[in-house]
Every structure is written in structure tokens, then in C-alpha cells.
Amino acid sequence: MPHVTIELLAGRTEEQKAAVARAVTEALQAHANASPASTSIVFRDVTKDNWASGGELMSAKR
């Protein structure tokens, strides 16, 4: 049973997340023989002040 956690900067719409969930589920089915019913996906929305890249908070980047 695959379990996928996807962390994204906050701001994606429900429709965007649904499309990602479908695509990831289809990829697991096609390439890992995973049943769609057994695949679970969790989205974690992270605010820019809680995510850093290159030693700098995303909230400080322009």
C-alpha cells in the first residue's frame, strides 16, 4: 500500500491538488503495480515563513 506525502508551498487550489493526486495515483498504478484503492496521498501546505532554500526563508525571497 503506497503512502505518498507531498509538501508544497501553500497556495495551490483544491482542483490543482486533485489533479496531482490523480496523476500520482496513475503513475503508481502504471509503474509500481499499485492499486488506486490502496494508494493514499497527504498534502502538506507549508507557509513561506516555514520553508527555507539556499539558507534563506522563502518569505524573504523576491
Give the catalytic positions in this structure.
2
Residue type for position 21: A
- The number of beta carbons lying within 10 Å of the beta carbon of residue 57 is 13
